[in-house]
Homo-oligomer: A and B are copies of this chain.
């Protein structure tokens, strides 16, 4: 059997570890050969390939990023895209595909499965917002990076009188902010699931200053103030006069300064959260996803993806993963609120 492998969407620590595990088990144990497809779905669409054998995966385990490259190409948005993929797979002698990616990549995989392509999925989202799996790899790494940044801010908070804001990833779900904020001992955590009241935030800030200790605020990039008018009042206008919100972290700093009279400073971690070597837990999870994905190919479990449930790896239908976003449970957020203020 000849198996194609591709990675789609934003990069995530652990992608290379998945690829390595697939090949390290698939070649000696099942006698498979592999084709690496470059840049997500663009690979099978344009027959862009890369050699994928045991020497090619040597040393990959600790490396962030993906040797296969990635893209957000959607073959269903390309004329005759699906036909091209079928033809290319046939020409390359590829019998099955392992697609490693998030909502979009697995959405394409689901549709291809429905029209008969042999596909197995591996879930990937640094935001941890995919249903059906307890965790996705990369998330633990991102949380640790954000937590280390918060740890560093604490020493400044003990010495100075400034509100310190950290903006972390999470457009639609606040998992990174929640975990990093709790692990880092943040005084306030703002997430997309719970629109915040800027007055309440400023109350926390001021009560914290009264303890002679500067507040640390962790905010998901997708967090939003409860009252949209608040946003517009503080909004910048660009060179053409259009309203422009800017990052939520910068906006918060300006609002806090204006309302409390205290200085505020923002750290925007950005892509730093996506990169570097994965934590032990992410390497473990990514490696196990890879091993179970190639086992699924061997069993012919098409249309399924790997998932973590407790300490076990199981297979679930691809469609389950993408049907709804996994958001932060209010009970969990309430646990974090114990430490607010």
Contacts and interface: CB of A to CB of B under 8 A. Distances in A.
A17 to B, nearest CB: 9
Interface string A171-191: 000000001101111000000
Nearest to A341: B28
Given A237-B241, A239-B237, A147 B283 contact: yes
B64 A152 contact: yes
B284 A182 contact: yes
A160 interface: yes
Interface in A167-214: 179-180, 182-185
A275 interface: yes
B268 A272 contact: no
A155 B61 contact: no
Contacts of A124: none
Contacts of A95: none
A66 interface: yes
A63 B134 CA distance: 28
Copies in the complex: 4
A301 interface: no
A121 to B, nearest CB: 19
Interface string A206-247: 000000000000000000000000000111111101001000
Interface in A239-281: 239, 241, 244, 265-277, 279-281
A114 interface: no
Interface stretch (A80-88, A98-106, A137-145, A315-323): A137-145
Interface residues of A, number: 80
Contact of A311 (B134, B144, B154, B283): B134
Contact of A144 (B274, B275, B280): B280
A153 interface: yes
Given A269-B267, A338-B24, A155 B65 contact: yes
A151 interface: yes
A335 to B, nearest CB: 6
Contacts of A66: 159
A51 to B, nearest CB: 16
A76 interface: no
Interface of A: 10-11, 13, 15, 21, 24-25, 29, 59, 61-67, 69-70, 134-135, 140, 143-145, 147-149, 151-156, 158-160, 162, 164, 179-180, 182-185, 233-239, 241, 244, 265-277, 279-281, 283-284, 287-288, 291, 309-311, 335, 338-339
7 contacts: A62-B151, A151-B276, A155-B275, A183-B281, A237-B237, A267-B270, A279-B279
